A and B are shown apart, each in its own frame.
Chain A
Amino acid sequence: DTGVSQNPRHKITKRGQNVTFRCDPISEHNRLYWYRQTLGQGPEFLTYFQNEAQLEKSRLLSDRFSAERPKGSFSTLEIQRTEQGDSAMYLCASSLGAGKNIQYFGAGTRLSVL
């Protein structure tokens, strides 16, 4: 499979716990994006990396959220001290090159905070 891969697909956690999601972009894609999608809504932008540099961050990305892309390949999104309002689908996308290139999305990680 050469698409964007996200793991795990589902995560159930208790309020207050920390969770980490992983995204493996399409090979050689230098840009990687994180979005959050709640039921009945469109994806909301969280952050964007070009190679290992985090270039844009949304105000939605509170202090409890942190994203990394240490070697410019896979990325992790960590949520600390989860809250019920964090329950959502977390989508990762990747694209190649400069300009408005196509963002290819993974199937997402569905987080449920109990």
Chain B
Amino acid sequence: QQQVKQSPQSLIVQKGGISIINCAYENTAFDYFPWYQQFPGKGPALLIAIRPDVSEKKEGRFTISFNKSAKQFSLHIMDSQPGDSATYFCAASMSGSEKLVFGKGTKLTVNP
């Protein structure tokens, strides 16, 4: 059973555009929602994370929007750059657990 559903599977954006990746979850015990970025041949690296007590968190060009009632959260990449081309994973973790549950990933391609 997939606990975190991520969409789209792939995304192509022009340089300077906005990339939006969405995730949905069912388990209301999740209390931590990180986004990871993975380049080919590398391990995932934390990009930005949010807890459900806030609705939005921004770090540079990256913003997480969180909708607790809808059990959805999304990553927005503003002014997308070719260097942002990577696979992005949303994840979630439950209170009292260190285990991260990952979505299936979104392969982002930013064309120059």
- A residues contacting B by CB (< 8 A) are 4, 31, 33, 35, 40-45, 48, 55-56, 58, 91, 93, 95, 100, 102-108
- B residues contacting A by CB (< 8 A) are 6, 32, 36, 41-46, 49, 51, 89, 91, 93, 97-105
- A44→B104 CA distance, assembly (Å): 10
| Contact among B91, B93, B98 with A42 in the assembled complex (CB-CB below 8 Å) | B91
Given known contacts A40-B104, A40-B105, A105 and B43 CB-to-CB distance under 8 angstroms: yes
Instruction: Check B104 against A42 for contact (C-beta < 8 Å).
Output: yes
Instruction: Check A42 against B89 for contact (C-beta < 8 Å).
Output: yes
Instruction: Check A107 against B43 for contact (C-beta < 8 Å).
Output: yes
Chain A residue at smallest Cβ distance from B51 = A100
Q: Sorted from nearest, which 10 A-B pairs have the closest CB atoms?
A: A42-B102, A105-B43, A45-B99, A100-B32, A42-B89, A102-B46, A105-B44, A48-B98, A107-B43, A43-B102
Instruction: Check A45 against B101 for contact (C-beta < 8 Å).
Output: yes
